[in-house]
A and B are shown apart, each in its own frame.
Chain A
Amino acid sequence: GQQVMQIPQYQHVQEGEDFTTYCNSSTTLSNIQWYKQRPGGHPVFLIQLVKSGEVKKQKRLTFQFGEAKKNSSLHITATQTTDVGTYFCAGEVAGANSKLTFGKGITLSVRP
Chain B
Amino acid sequence: NAGVMQNPRHLVRRRGQEARLRCSPMKGHSHVYWYRQLPEEGLKFMVYLQKENIIDESGMPKERFSAEFPKEGPSILRIQQVVRGDSAAYFCASSPTTSDTQYFGPGTRLTVL
In the complex, are the beta carbons of B101 and A97 less than 8 A apart?
Answer: no
What mask results when residues 9 to 32 of chain A are scored 1 for a CB within 8 Å of chain B, else 0? 100000000000000000000110
Residues of A bordering B, CB below 8 Å: 6, 9, 30-31, 33, 35, 41-45, 48, 88, 90, 92, 97-105
Residues of B participating in the A interface, judged by any CB pair closer than 8 Å: 31, 33, 35, 40-45, 48, 55-56, 58-59, 91, 93, 95, 98-107
A-B contact pairs, 27 of them (CB 8 A): A6-B42, A30-B99, A33-B102, A41-B106, A42-B91, A43-B93, A43-B104, A44-B104, A45-B103, A88-B42, A88-B43, A90-B43, A97-B48, A97-B55, A97-B56, A97-B98, A98-B33, A98-B99, A99-B48, A99-B58, A99-B59, A100-B45, A100-B102, A102-B42, A102-B45, A103-B42, A104-B42
